[in-house]
Structure 1
Amino acid sequence: MTTPHTLLWVYELGGYPNFTPLFQRAGYQVTRVDSGRKAAGAIKRAPPTVIVAEFIVDPNFRDRTGNLETILAAVQRSGATTKVIAFYEPAEATELEKLRARFPDFTALPYPIDEARLAAEL
């Protein structure tokens, strides 16, 4: 029996299309959560094959670059070879690069999300 490919979709703010059908067509069993904290718990329980998450910068994050830092740290702690795809606002590219300095191994796709490019990254 083969292990299914799993995808954790961290959908916090939204404002873009529902990509669940795309993920399923690509062969993933999809779990959707609505916060980085819930994602970290899911990663700890069972690291997914792929994580798709929004990069959210908030000035109230005193000790973090953004929400994605929690998710990437959880992946790092898990020791899994999880692929991470982050959606980001082009205006937040500087903050994203600060995060990339600490966690270099993720793919970043700018809004508006190009569905063909997302499919190719999966």
Structure 2
Amino acid sequence: MSSPPILLMVNAFIGTASYKKLYQELGYAVVTEWSERRAISLVRKTPPAVIVADFYHQADFRDRLSNLESLLATAQSIPNTRILVFYETAHQAVLDKVSARLRIDAAFSLPVQEEQLRTTLRAWLGNTAPP
């Protein structure tokens, strides 16, 4: 019997945490990480099937546009890992800039439509590589 696919929740403060039960009901083994550095280490050691992360932008970021760029850059080399971000609509323009450079497989604005989330994650369970 194979182990369930890992779903990594990163930051878990905007919207990702409220869907943990949904992730588990779909058959994912959920791992939560609040530190981006620790999440990067985990992704390198044990690549998850899915990364679900809260995306945000702060004007005082020195060398980047968002909280996720280092994690996204790490995940680019793992083609079987899907990347889903939740974001505030106010950050859409910044998300567009980041997604032009780094792969993001799906992005949902808050509030997330649970059925859309369920459909996306269920579809990803049956596929091993992003479209």
Do they fold alike, i.e. is TM over 0.5?
A: yes
Instruction: Kindly state the Cα deviation for residue 15 of structure 1 after the two structures are TM-superposed.
Output: 5.7
Which residue of structure 2 aligns with residue 5 of structure 1?
A: 5
Name the % identity: 37
**Unmatched 5+ residue regions in structure 2?**
122-131
User: Structure 2 CA distance, aligned partners of 1:30 and 1:76?
Assistant: 21
17 and 30 in structure 1: CA distance in 2 versus 1, 3 angstrom threshold: closer
The answer for the alignment partner of 2:51 in structure 1 is 51
Task: Give, in angstroms, the shift of residue 62 of structure 1.
Answer: 1.8
Distance (whole Å) between structure 2 residues aligned to residue 27 and residue 60 of structure 1: 39
Task: Output the TM-score relative to the length of structure 2.
Answer: 0.83
How many equivalent pairs are there? Answer: 121
**Partners in 1 of 2:6 and 2:46 — Cα distance?**
9
Q: Partner residue of 1:69?
A: 69
Q: Please give the alpha-carbon distance, in whole angstroms, between the structure 2 residues aligned to 1:106 and 1:65.
A: 19
CA distance in structure 1 between the aligned counterparts of 2:46 and 2:80, rounded to whole angstroms: 12
RMSD in angstroms over aligned alpha carbons?
Answer: 1.7
| Rounded Cα–Cα distance in structure 2 between residues aligned with 1:93 and 1:85 | 14
Where does the alignment leave 5 or more consecutive residues of structure 1 unmatched?
none
Residues 17 and 9 (structure 1 numbering): CA distance in 2 closer, same or farther, change over 3 Å?
closer
After TM superposition, where is structure 1 displaced by more than 6 Å over at least 4 residues in a row? none
Q: Which moved more, 1:61-70 or 1:6-15?
A: 6-15
Q: 1:2 to 1:48 in 2, by over 3 A?
A: same
Partners of 2:41 and 2:17 lie apart in 1 by 25
